[in-house]
Structure 1
Amino acid sequence: MKKDLEQLKKNLTEMQFAVTQENGTEPPFRNEYWNEQRDGIYVDIVSGKPLFSSLDKFDAGCGWPSFTKPIEEQEILEKDDYSHFMIRTEVRSKTAHSHLGHVFNDGPEPNGLRYCINSAALRFIPKEDLDKEGYGEFKKLFEQQ
């Protein structure tokens, strides 16, 4: 386990490591994807597993990327978070167990959810690069648009 953390420290930026491994939070409005407008998918920076789609992204005005739902529910873990004198629901990736952010029940319809996710926990794959990056199976999401 210690070896894995040392390798992650080498592969991730300081902010990516702090967010994904130490449950950190990056600054709002000063992160890579809060205002990303292109079509594509967002994958876990650690495992590469697909997490969210731009089709489910919306501007929540909070300064972090926000989504109504994950691409694949089984890759998302939710757990109670009582830190910072609040009661929230933390969102983690199942495969890498990376801290991603939190989910709130103040989102838009159809489900009323807002997955508020740290950019530092994500890597964006533009739809035109899906094949090249090994995520070709997700092109169908954008063909239905």
Structure 2
Amino acid sequence: MLRGARTLAARLEVHERQALEIARWLQARPDVGRVYHPALPEHPGHALWRRDFTGSNGLLSFEFARDDPALAARFVDALRLFGIGASWGGYESLAVLAELSGRGALPTASRSVVRLHVGLDDSASLIADLEQALAVATAR
């Protein structure tokens, strides 16, 4: 634990910077309906985040513009650099399907949600992976 703690601040800076870059990239995509990241002004909890926090981390979620649960599953299956899983504490980039209906976590979420943990991989490589997975998922 002590070994990892020495680099924690530097790693969190990379997680935060790259997650915001990817969140903004996803926002610009016509096939993405909504991106959930508290540091984005459009996020429902942004005012609370600004009041209580000075930074963020590598977690974000998004839903597709089209209401098709199979689309999100095809997207996650097509990812190459993002691993599948929900262990958000590491340096790896991960993705998982999140079914949030009825949980109250994101009251505006109406579709299947993909949760991403943006790790320390190069952000351009991660965006390329997301782009190819979007192409595969939306090709049907």
The structure whose residues are more often helix, as a share, is: 2
Answer whether TM exceeds 0.5 for this pair: no
- TM band (smaller chain): 0.3 to 0.5
Q: TM-score, normalised by structure 2?
A: 0.35
The structure whose residues are more often strand, as a share, is: 1
